Chains A and B, each alone.
Chain A
Amino acid sequence: MSSEHFKYPVFGQVDYFKYNNVASQLASHTPSPSHSQELGAKKRTVDPIVTGTSVIAIKYNGGVVMGADTLLSYGSLARFNNIERMKKFGKSTIIGAGGEYSDFQNLSQVLDDLVVDDGCTDDGTTLSTTEIWNYIARVMYNRRNKGDPYWNSLVVIGHDNNKSFLGKVDLVGTCYQDNFIASGYGSHIALPLLRKAYKEDMTLDEAKTLIQDCLRVLFYRDARSSRFIQLSIANADGLVITEQIALDTDKWDSGDSAKKKKNQDGRKKKNNYRNDSTQVILEYGHNVV
């Protein structure tokens, strides 16, 4: 796959680091192992291998909710079905990760060390969510400048001093805060839905429902997603990451009522389309909300 096929940059397929050029030059010579002189012994993440997909989060009245499915894909293969993609850091922060999972694990270790160091200082303060978000933004931007990025998009939520925080950092170091954030495929599919459905001062239940609706639509549209999800909540009571939740997507029988069935007298029954929530969900992107 060479980058000349692309007339315009396509996210995830841009050859940022000229990997393909180097590879094609190599191919014209004798095949050589990846640690060959030409390529250099340095290794970098030029392609994510085991990946998680979208993360979605919204602020509500009194906290922040975040949701992500528990699937890790190996290319297009649904490889690991039950992996948490959201992790607690310190007393007030949860980070949800999409992209290369091993990069996230590595970053997690860095952050865990940071939290322990901060605890050892024992100066009566703890790392706030804003500080952690800013720190990873610095790390991500640094790594991108080295041409060896952590291949993740990270959604950071937290609640300290009665203030909610919701921010995002991606693999090139772009960082921002917002009232609702969707990463990965969700930034294409779920963000428009969120823009329509978001309102200030939502209740926790409303926020949870909205996130689940978004993840459900993503399950229908994103081939790298799963219907098994987790929600995490940051509010004044602390941090919660829920057990796995199975989204109610078993609606494929909704067309059954439209099938032509024979009545007892042998005559064909009239079509009877069900008008239930299924259709609402399926048409989510078009008119409802």
Chain B
Amino acid sequence: MTSVGSGYDLSVSTYSPDGKIFQIEYASKAVENSGTVVAIRCKDGVVMGVEKILPSKMLCHGSNRRLHSIDLHIGIGIAGFLADARQLVNRARSEAKQYKSVYGQPIPIKVLAQRIASYNHVHTLYGSVRPFGCSITIAGIDSTGPQLFMIEPSGSCLGYYGTSMGKGKQAVKNELEKINFTEITAAEAVKTIAKIIYSVHDGDKDKDFELELSWITRESKIHQLVPKEIHDNAEAFAKQALEEANLI
């Protein structure tokens, strides 16, 4: 990397001559090393899926969660350093709680996303701190319907129909572009995401992985892990699709 040794990458409060803040770019590198996260905003909800790479075979199933609930109606998906992201999750929970106590209603997804983005952003302004080594997707349903946002270490916050973070980001985006987001339902998206994650998983480089799926639907309006039965079906569907693809 050209930045290394240049002296411009030591602090987040210093620009390089060509207008970059290298610490933010390094933080983005940390995200790119992470397992893939896929999120789709459907007509009746939002679905998130994570390729959770397992560093050890002795880990308990379900540990190191990368999908978290923030409030009843909001969930967060994580790519990058889990410890950094947990800080954002805690922050998001207290923002949601504070909004509810002040305004007496659940926090709109956009407001939460922008507040978390600001929190990310202030960590790109001072020499005494480093940016968060993680990107997050925020999924939820509010009065404006299903919403999906992605927040990056730079503090950028954008709304999406479908997005992805982590290792397989580029390959996933190619797949996502084929989807008709105005028609797809949450139930279909669960299968699609499972299939995409299985197809982008690089079995040679990476060890085992665990598929994590969560969703929020208009029906329940509660963010939660996808029920075991639906999860297992989606996973079986993904495995079968992968096998068929390999045969051809």
In the complex, A10 has a CB within 8 A of chain B: no
Q: In this assembly, does A206 line the interface, its C-beta being within 8 Å of a C-beta of chain B?
A: no
Query: Contact: B97 with A116, CB < 8 Å?
Result: yes
Say whether B91 faces chain A, with CB atoms less than 8 Å apart. Answer: no
A109 CA / B93 CA spacing, docked (Å): 15
Give the chain B neighbours of A113 by CB distance below 8 A.
97, 100-101
Are B101 and A120 closer than 8 Å at their CB atoms? no
Contact A109 B101 (CB under 8 A): yes
How long is the Cα–Cα vector from A116 to B100 in the complex, in angstroms?
12
B97–A122 CB distance below 8 A: no
Residues of A participating in the B interface, judged by any CB pair closer than 8 Å: 109, 113, 116-117, 119-120, 122
B70 at the interface (CB under 8 A from A): yes
Residues of chain A with a CB closer than 8 A to B72's CB? 116, 119
| Contact present for A119 and B97 (CB under 8 Å) | no
Q: B61-74 CB contact bits vs A (8 Å, 1 = yes)?
A: 00001001111100
A116–B224 Cα distance when bound, in Å, is: 12
The answer for the CA separation of A119 and B69 in the assembled complex, in Å, is 8
Pick from B68, B100, B225: contact of A120, CB under 8 Å: B68
User: What are 21 A-B residue pairs whose CB atoms fall within 8 Å in the complex?
Assistant: A109-B100, A109-B101, A113-B97, A113-B100, A113-B101, A116-B71, A116-B72, A116-B97, A117-B93, A119-B69, A119-B72, A120-B68, A120-B69, A120-B70, A120-B71, A120-B93, A122-B65, A122-B68, A122-B69, A122-B224, A122-B225
Q: How far is the CA of A122 from the CA of B100 in the complex (A)?
A: 21
A109: chain B residues at CB < 8 Å are: 100-101
In the complex, what distance in Å separates the CA atom of A119 from the CA atom of B216? 14
Complex alpha-carbon distance, A122 and B68, angstroms: 8
For B68, the chain A residues whose CB sits under 8 A away are: 120, 122
User: Which of B219-243 touch A at CB < 8 Å?
Assistant: 224-225
For residues 130 through 186 of chain B, which have their beta carbon under 8 Å from a beta carbon of chain A?
Answer: none
Query: How far does the alpha carbon of A117 sit from the alpha carbon of B224 in the complex, in Å?
Result: 13
Which chain A residue has the least Cβ–Cβ distance from B96? A116
Query: Could you say which residues of chain B place their CB within 8 Å of the CB of A120?
Result: 68-71, 93
Minimum-distance CB pairs A-B, first 4 = A120-B69, A113-B97, A116-B71, A122-B69
